[in-house]
Amino acid sequence: MFEHLFAPIQIRDMELKNRIIMPAMGTRMADEKGFVTDKLIAYHAARAKGGCGLNIVEVAAVHTPSAPAHFVSISEDCYIAGHKKLTDAIHANGGKASIQLWQGSIAACMDPKAQMLVVSEMNFGGHTIPAITKEQIQEVIACYGKAAARAVEAGYDCLEFHLAHNYLPHSFLSGGLNHRSDEYGGNFENRSRFPLEVIDEIRKNMPEGMPLFIRIDAQDDMLEGGMTIDDTIRFCKLAKEHGVDVLDVSRGNIITAASMYEVPPIDVPNGFNIENAAKIRKETGMLTIGVGRINTAKLANELIENDRVDMVVMGRAQLADPEFANKACEGRIDEIVHCVGCNQGCYDGFTDVMHRPHITCMRNPMIGHESEYLMETTQAPKNVWVIGGGVGGMEAAQVLQARGHKVTLFEASNELGGEFLLAGEAPGKAEMKQAAMEMAQQTERLVTVHKNTKVDAQMIQNANVDAVIVAVGSSPIMIQLEGMDMLPHASATEILRHEVCPKGHVAVIGGGLVGLETADTLASDGCKVTILEMKDAIGSDLGSLRKISVMMKMHQLHVDMRPNSQVCKFTSEGIVLKDGSFVACDSAVFAVGFKANDSQELVEACEEKNIPCHIIGDAKKARRAIDAIAEGFEVARTL
């Protein structure tokens, strides 16, 4: 199945067993000094064991002074032994290993102790950072060569040079970032000088038969004076002459809204960058990797079959399911846990250095714990009830079943999926609804499910059950206001499900994620929409990249967004705000959040019978799906 995706490919002396690439996604799993940890080894080994053709170890710092804490480093000889353990683990599990040689420029700011090297003088955080000197340029070039030699000694099968995302090499290449007046700036030839010198230095420190990849942006989006796709093609032809074999064609930068293209959220179309990659491939004649929300085997196979690209990056697809490649190859498509581009665990988890030690995944809480959370069969099987069929309840049920417990799941409605299904009703989020439906089908194949069944205290009293997991979710908050009988109104849930379809001018009360998606639904249906948010910011509960995408959509739909707008009362002609101002509208929608459903009766019934009872997800407190799934997983893992 998917024969094009699983066809081998020869690159110099390296043969990959298939065309699936695990890209160099930052994990923050290295230790504070950049040493490879057992956690990182287990993470990569799991994807190699899962059938991935090539694992690229992420953003490995080549220059010690500018190496951020918890980023992988290969800037000194002391790191070689750890990398050797990592490549050995990948090889032992049937994969091939690459490493991405990286100098992060302003991205080093994630560690205040790391030096920031910039191509041209720039103001950053209220401070002026001087441009990198010629002496430092030569120092960094030499560091790339030494890092390449270390990577060869550590047993990597190929190397990748990171030349994208306005890290230092891309900053030199791009006219939108490089404003130097010496031989490293100005015209295209001068701007190309530094990255080509780096390529030469890397190439001379690796065997002739070892492939060299570069990760490069197809173009500079939203960056005045930046690289066009024709500039990129021109550079790639030069890179080919200097010994580069493969183009890993990405997109985005970290100083404009185009950062959303680096880790594209669900709002960005699947395969959005493929046409760029295909054009670059055609013009250069080079092996090319397609990148950009390729999260199904069907899409990946079609891209290769249709001769658009030679290989595909499937990063978050393998975060969500480390067995993705094996399942796809064996035709077990209905078992795959698909990425939905939520960005909650991968990107938001990576940047949230205060609250998360490393990345995670909404759909896979095992990330970073592959060697710790062994799903061992229980020696004491229990009869467990899971009350509630949202994603938290389904996760708990599946993990319990995998461990050998007898599981019965009860859902009060006629379908599994809970609020995840609702989230998938918003425009552009069909993947989320599909994922909820897939998870429901997987759950129903594994455990006993009773739909349209509301569990009460009497059922628990009469049951022979050893443990109960309460996952009864949450319900929309409906606030009471003066004059509510004078203006038509509905809940966000009713709008998203198209149970209520207002016309004309609609005011959405609440500017969080649900309010924004409700506004999207209404505006897409032709309504004039105003969002009223009492806080001083709209979309404060969105991750940074989703927020960029959603806000762009709001502007495209001409949605009027008004922060600091607390609703006071309704009239027959609109809404009066606390400051006395008036918003004329034909109807209103409440999107002010959700509250946990009452589970006290169930908890008390369990207490009376001394049945261990665990409350998870929104039933504990209304939050995000990543919290519900993580809690369902943790309770089931330890029960």
Give the residue numbers marked as catalytic: 167
Q: How far is CA 110 from the centre of its chain?
A: 18
Question: Using an 8 Å Cβ cutoff, are 59 and 30 in contact?
Answer: no
Question: What are the contacts of 628-632 at 24+ separation with CB within 8 A?
Answer: 628/390, 628/391, 628/392, 628/395, 628/471, 629/362, 629/363, 629/365, 629/391, 629/392, 629/395, 630/360, 630/365, 631/392, 632/391, 632/392, 632/393, 632/394, 632/395, 632/396, 632/399, 632/469, 632/471
Which DSSP symbol is given to 62?
Answer: -
Write the single-letter amino acid at 397: A
Question: Using an 8 Å Cβ cutoff, are 298 and 334 in contact?
Answer: no
* Other Cβ atoms closer than 10 A to 544: 14
Going from the C-alpha of 539 to that of each of 535, 546, 554, 614, the distances in angstroms are 10, 9, 11, 31
What is d(CA 508, CA 51) in angstroms, rounded to the nearest whole number? 47
Going from the C-alpha of 399 to that of each of 161, 351, 392, 466, the distances in angstroms are 40, 28, 11, 16
- For the chain, first and last CA: distance in Å? 38
What is d(CA 8, CA 288) in angstroms, rounded to the nearest whole number? 15
Name the pairing type of β-strands 158-163 and 246-250. Answer: unpaired
Going from the C-alpha of 230 to that of each of 195, 233, 236, 283, 311, the distances in angstroms are 17, 5, 10, 9, 22
Q: Which two tokens stand for residue 23?
A: 């890209």
